[in-house]
Amino acid sequence: MMSQQKQKDPLSLAALIGANLIPLIGIFLFHWDVRYIVLLYWIENLVAAFYNILKMAFLKIDRATEKAGKLFLIPFFCIHYGGFCAVHGFFLISFFHIGDGLSPFGDSTKWWGPLIFIQLLYSVFAKIWASKPPEMIWAVIGLAISHGVSFVENYILGQEYKTSSLKKLMHQPYQRIIVMHIAILAGGIFVMKLDSPLPLLIALVLLKIFFDLHLHKKSHTKKSPKIKDKDSS
């Protein structure tokens, strides 16, 4: 039998909480409304995807067939997840009236084949990035550092690259979006309808921290052998 044991990762936990508190600075000092908070969390999906690609690249695989699978799954993940995030971003643009109102899908130049999903992501990202407040770059850098610290501490130094799998890495980013962003999007729409009152903006940031801590704990829980009692053997 196997039991679960939480991995000790105080640095990545501190970085996670610290990065997630940065939006409060935007709220109090720069008067961010709910649109900018949700926009920031969408951009974080791309940061998480970047580190997930690194995880897939560093994953230790011995079988030749699995190595070939890695060469296929990394570009497949980029195209599939890219399209997923593009559609997600389009809904944010529509719901929260981000940008000039023009559709990011209106470009007449089409990229070849499946790369059209990367084109859509690029168009959505360009529209969202152009609509961000200038100071948001520091929040994005903070989130990038947080994910980077977790990557180094847990995946590299914690040797998760030896125990993870391509299947697990393929599903993790989608679980993050589905579990967390449904709550964030629903909360964001509710806060927007009330004209972004300060207490609800703070509650939205705290909700994000709660989900991040939960997903962090779930993702970095080690399995260790459970010692059986002699009497039961």
pLDDT tens-digit readout, 137-156:
999 999 999 999 999 999 99
**Is 213:120 a contact under the CB 8 Å cutoff?**
no
Phi-psi region of 27 (alpha: psi -120 to 50; beta: other; left: phi over 0): alpha
| Amino acid code (one letter) for 157 | L
Among residues 170, 83, 151, the alpha carbon closest in space to that of 119 is found at: 83
Kindly give the pairing relationship between strand 2-6 and strand 221-225.
Answer: antiparallel
pLDDT band at 114 (very low <50, low <70, confident <90, very high): confident
More confidently predicted of 52 and 104: 52
DSSP string, 54-119: HHHHH----SHHHHHHHHHHHHHHHHHHHHHHHHHHHHHHHHHT-TTS--TT--S---SGGGHHHH
Among residues 186, 152, 201, 169, the alpha carbon closest in space to that of 74 is found at: 169
For residue 224, what is the enclosing H or E element?
A: strand 221-225
Among residues 80, 104, 79, the alpha carbon closest in space to that of 92 is found at: 104
Task: Produce one character per residue of 89-108: b if its CB has 16 or more CB atoms within 10 Å, e if not.
Answer: bbebbeebebbeeeebeeee
- The one-character DSSP state at 195 is T
pTM above 0.75, yes or no: yes
What is residue 100's predicted lDDT score, i.e. its pLDDT? Answer: 66
pLDDT band at 43 (very low <50, low <70, confident <90, very high): very high
Provide the 3-class DSSP secondary structure of residue 48: helix
pLDDT band at 46 (very low <50, low <70, confident <90, very high): very high
More confidently predicted of 168 and 231: 168
Instruction: Determine phi and psi for 222, rounding to 5 degrees.
Output: -85, 150
The token pair at 52 is 């997930």
CA distance 186 to 179: 12
| Amino acid code (one letter) for 128 | I
